[in-house]
Chain A
Amino acid sequence: MNNSQYPLARTNGLVVQEVPNEVLVFDMETNEAHCLNETAAMVWKYCDGKTSVPQIAEILGEGKESAVSDDLIWLAIDQLNEHKLLEKEVATKFAGQSRREVLRKIGLASMVALPIIASMAAPRSVLASTSCACATNGNCGAFQPGCPPTCNTTTSTCVP
């Protein structure tokens, strides 16, 4: 079962590290790291292919003064989709609404922190950031992120 009502978290190709109130996920396929805040991490945790979106909302709302809306869960799922953290992309229910509109709507009413997933790309090169030293143009630019693109072979330094 993996329809939009029963989202399933992806597990293959991911390295997961739990830290207090957050979860870090490194995607070996895209070479990107993601940091899920507590709400996003909780939603991801319950994306087990058996728990529906309303059920996840119910779980997150336990012990809170007011109910957690399905929209908040969908907002998390929308981001999990975007970062390829679900087994299959699921159609979210925000048709015709921008994320900003949804955020505004949920943000005013929610007793739970909005789900946030922040991401960062990891360097692929073994020689990433070798002080912008180079032997050829190939050692500059993308090979050493943050360094200028051209190798000045006289000084062996990447230059603009």
Chain B
Amino acid sequence: MKLDWHWDFAFEVLPRLLWATVNTLTAAGAGYAIALVLGLILALAQRTNWRALTVIVRECVEFIRSTPLVLQVFFVFYVGPQFGINLSPWTSGLAAIGIHYSAYLSEVYRSGIDAVPRGQWEACRALNLPLRKKYLRIILPQALVPAVPGMGNYLVGIFKDTPILSVIGVAELMQMANTIGSENYRFLEPFTLVALIFLFISLPAAGLVKLFERRLRLAMGL
């Protein structure tokens, strides 16, 4: 069996794939933004003195982490309408992927916050800093720097998981490659290109995260 690779076909479909890449990046970016904010809320909610809230949030995080992302995507999109929640594929996709990754990010934040030495909390109390300022100015800046590598991993992770959104018809890279393949009865070129596009974005992203962490440490004098 010989490799039947058509360069002209590859170049012909590349623009459409690149266009779909924009959608993939948008989905990853927006989903990650949701996860960053929601994850922090989930992490902080587990540090309140309100025992019931802490337990509920803890269980929700465990539940989200223990069920597959693709199931959660289906659930939001197909089961949501039964509860009167009608969302477009884009909205439900972003919600599902954002919530899913917020559970993981909340764990990253949590371990970062736990790693801030006890003396820092005591110094905040000795200086009488109010709760909000204690977190915003002292604890979180110190918690986030060691959390950056973990956060970077999930940035690449969410990017690689966006193809799951194709199952509910979001026009991202995977969906486009599939469409192109079905139209032309040729799957080798579009799928290979998809793999290369993912590779070319993921690899530098990981390196940039490392660089960012180093810069951040320097800037903060750590």
Decide whether A and B assemble into one complex: no
**A binding-site residues for B, Cβ under 8 Å:** none
